[in-house]
Amino acid sequence: MKPFILSVTLCAAVLAQTTPPATKAPATKAATPATKAPATATKAPATKAATKAPATVGNLLDPSTLKATAPAVFKVKLTTTKGDIVIEVHRDWAPRGADRFYNLVRAGFFTDVYFFRVIPGFMCQFGISSRPEVSRVWSSNNMIDDPVKQSNTRGMVTYAKTGAPNSRSTQLFINYGDNAANLDSKDFAPFGKVTEGMEVADQFFSGYNAQFGGDSSGLQGPIAEKGKAFVEKEFPKLDKILRASIVPATPAPGATKSTPAATKSATKAPATTKAPAATKTTKQ
């Protein structure tokens, strides 16, 4: 009987030593993946959200959807391959031109639009869509001329046009120099001005002019017909607008800030005692 009890005791001791390691190992492995999974899941959405393109308004293939009236004054930021340029638009300078620019920006027209004609000392020209189907729609969608109220001086933004009246469409240029004497009398009506980044505009690539006898305006037709793929293959050094967007109006935040200040001053007791001082000033 004693040998039997001894053998049972020894077996129990062996089982007690081998069982705990088996339970500890899975517990350690299970804890490791549980902590790693959430870290990966939270990083991915943040990256995707940051790369989202801004929403567009209107259909570029249907000009009738782009008829909104522009604000009296607004700003547009051009994000280019050389840096940012901010254009301040004044609708009263050229209402038709301002309205079209406003609508084209909101519809995403200027995405991947090239500065195809850059002439140092004169101007840099852009405004041909990189999508041939869009260029076909807008090539003959001209505007009635605006009266010239501002001059084509450095930094002013104007629509390109032919010698014929009412020939403005989507092509624009930024004046590098003072071109008032040459352009003002020919119905080139500025509608905006560069307020930030003029030094960026001065850097746009102009090296292809030599291939076109000193003026690369000959690129207009091929870009309109063949689009982005053609430019990237044949003229890869051209600078371009990566995207354009309406800059939020600055007056709104100012008005919001002044409201609390006005409210505070109105509630202060000393405001009542200052009234006589105002009365004295009026009498004088």
pLDDT of residue 54: 63
User: What is the C-alpha to C-alpha distance for residues 75 and 132, in angstroms, rounded to an integer?
Assistant: 28
Helix (H, G, I), strand (E, B) or coil at 60: coil
Average pLDDT over residues 107-129: 98
- Above 70 in pLDDT, residue 282? no
The larger pLDDT score, comparing residue 215 to residue 52, is at 215
Cα–Cα distance for residue pair 191/186, rounded to 1 Å: 15
pTM for this prediction: 0.71
Q: Which pLDDT value is given to residue 232?
A: 97
pLDDT at residue 158 above 80? Answer: yes
- Mean pLDDT calculated for residue range 4-8: 41
The 3-state DSSP composition of the chain as helix, strand, coil percent (nearest 5) reads 45, 15, 35
* Contacts for 113 with CB less than 8 Å, ≥ 6 apart: 126, 127, 128, 129, 130, 240, 241
Q: For residue 53, what pLDDT is reported?
A: 56
With residue 196 as reference, give the H or E element that holds it.
strand 192-196
Which candidate, 200, 146, 212, places its Cα nearest to that of 176? 200
Closest CA to 231 of 61, 80, 112, 125: 112
Could you tell me if 27 and 76 are in contact, meaning their C-beta atoms sit under 8 angstroms apart?
no
The whole-number pLDDT of residue 139 equals 93
In whole angstroms, give the CA distance from residue 179 to residue 183: 6
Residue 250 is predicted with a pLDDT of 58
Q: 175-207 pLDDT, tens per residue?
A: 999 999 999 999 999 999 999 999 999 999 999
Please say whether the beta carbons of 99 and 68 come within 8 A: yes
- The reported pLDDT for the residue numbered 281 is 36
Query: Domains plus CATH for the chain?
Result: 64-247 (2.40.100.10)
**Per-residue pLDDT reduced to its tens digit, 202-259:** 999 999 999 999 999 999 999 999 999 999 999 999 999 999 999 986 554 455 444 4
Q: Which two tokens stand for residue 136?
A: 């076909």
